[in-house]
Amino acid sequence: MNPSQALQGETPERLVARFGEGTVSLHDARRIIAHVVQRGASSLDDITQVRKVARLAVSAAFPVGAVRVLERRASAEDPFVKFAVALVDDAVIETVRIPLEKPGRFVVCVSSQVGCAMGCAFCATAQMGLRRSLEAWEIVEQVRLVAQELRRTGEGRVHGVVFQGMGEPLHNLDNVLQAIEVLSHPCGLAIDARNITVCTVGIVPGIDRLASMRTRIRLGISITSAQQSLRRSLVPMDGRHPIREVVEAAQRFQGRSKRLVMFAYALLGGINTTDAEADALAELLRIMPARLSLIDWNAVPGLPFRPPTDEERERFHDRLAKLGVPVVRRYSGGKDIGAACGQLATATGRRERSQNTEG
């Protein structure tokens, strides 16, 4: 199967626009999408109350896509679960089920690309390089798989989605937006768009595009450093989109969407935890009301970084708080299964990358 199109990436409205009301009415299209996306049907053969002409036209143009869970690893330390998911071309991505404090509610951390082109120095996914971007349906399937498991086990339901897995979502924005349409559609997975967060390392045109759409989704920005030379050495994309311009774009997004932007800061012990860094960060965030989450960087084998010490973390946090930055510490779970922030990369991807760079 060609991975480029499958029914899970479509909304009823898109089907009607593609085939015309005469062939696929809105009623037909709603039933078809609910059948496949909500109920997880693998074909349209047993669908009821859809006209034959619609069923045949849609089946001929769109297959029902299939991905496979290769591995399911549950954390022994906390209720995180990481899934290794094989796509139709045998590329492997990772998806994480994150429990919320409220029992029975989960967020799904999805991948948007196989690997990533951004090359952040502290990130496991960067070591894979970029293989390809995911299609909308491949993003939807990650959430659907988790929703299906939660329903089957009676553990709860998917409350939200965060694009913080493998890949830079603004580097695959068309497909990410199409996936969000399905995820939030009442005939799709019906997840409130306000509970969908797109996290970026900072691609200004992508942020501006989101701002122009007046979307209800949430935007997350990964800062890493407020000092230009340090940030540039850790996040190569800073050369094209310096962090100040990224924060200014975030301000435009916040102004138009009225949605508070979430800033995230991964603490790399001894690197971006200095007093000078805290001062620069407070200065950077002065231009807009902001909420900042501090997250411990988690160990990735082969990378020359370490998590912060307790003392580094407390000192950095307290200095920011004293400078008036609304700052919280965020717990990054699933460390023992490699599901924590910055740790996602498939073993195969890492292996191939190291063979390529060695060769």
Residues that bind ligand SF4 (CB under 6 A): 116, 118-120, 123, 125-126, 166-168, 201
d(CA 233, CA 26): 51
**341 in active site:** yes
* Dihedral sign, Cα of residue 9, residue 89, residue 71, residue 221: negative
Cβ pair 167, 125 in contact under 8 A: yes
Cβ pair 113, 166 in contact under 8 A: yes
How far is CA 137 from each of CA 6, 68, 277, 318, rounded to the nearest angstrom? 6, 14, 41, 43
Q: Which of 10, 94, 138, 141 is catalytic?
A: 94
297 alpha-carbon distance from chain centroid: 18
Q: C-beta of 168: minimal distance to ligand SF4 in Å?
A: 4
Kind and range of the H or E run holding 86: strand 81-86
Q: Which of 109, 120, 199, 341 is catalytic?
A: 341
Q: C-beta of 126: minimal distance to ligand SF4 in Å?
A: 4
Q: C-beta of 167: minimal distance to ligand SF4 in Å?
A: 6
d(CA 298, CA 38): 35
Q: C-beta of 196: minimal distance to ligand SF4 in Å?
A: 17
Closest CA to 286 of 234, 316, 326: 326
**94 in active site:** yes
Closest CA to 143 of 173, 99, 168, 111: 111
Closest CA to 118 of 239, 245, 228, 226: 239
Amino acid identity, residue 173? Answer: L
Q: Report the catalytic residues.
A: 94, 341
